[in-house]
Amino acid sequence: MSIDAHKKVAIEFFEAGNRGDLGRCTELLSDAIAWTDIGTTKFSGTYTGKENVSENLLGPLFGQLKAGIYTDIENVIAEGDFVVVQSRGTAETIDGTPYNNTYCHVMRIVDGRILEVTEYLDTALTNAVFGS
């Protein structure tokens, strides 16, 4: 795949999430996905496999939010199989607490699917909103 095609996959992932189309988001993940959240939050660590990512990272996080996270993409940079997406996320917890974080996702895209993600974010904010 071309660099432009890789960028398109990454952008489509976030746009599908903004539409609430989690099915499409899941389709764009490789079955062998390795998703790493940096830092020392309750969500930090590496989650391997689509089911593990869904059940142990995305499910617990999104279960605490009213309507997911709306992602405003600020910049997309790509080279080879890697795409870097800088963005701002806007969300609200079920109890009404704002969760507006800044992200940098480094993604590796192979065969049209997201194989690896390393997510950099404000971990102090994550701990303040969700507990450590």
Domain CATH number, residue 38: 3.10.450.50
Tokens, residue 70: 């709306």
Q: What's the pTM?
A: 0.94
* Domain with 92 in it: 3-130
Write the DSSP symbol of residue 132.
-
Please report the pLDDT score of residue 22 as a whole number: 85
Of the ranges 10-14, 31-35, 63-67, 111-115, which one carries the lowest mean pLDDT score? 63-67
Give the pLDDT confidence score for residue 127 in this predicted structure: 97
- Cα distance between residue 51 and residue 97, in whole Å: 28
pLDDT of 20 above 90: no
Number of domains composing the chain? 1
pLDDT band at 132 (very low <50, low <70, confident <90, very high): confident
The average pLDDT across 9-15 equals 97
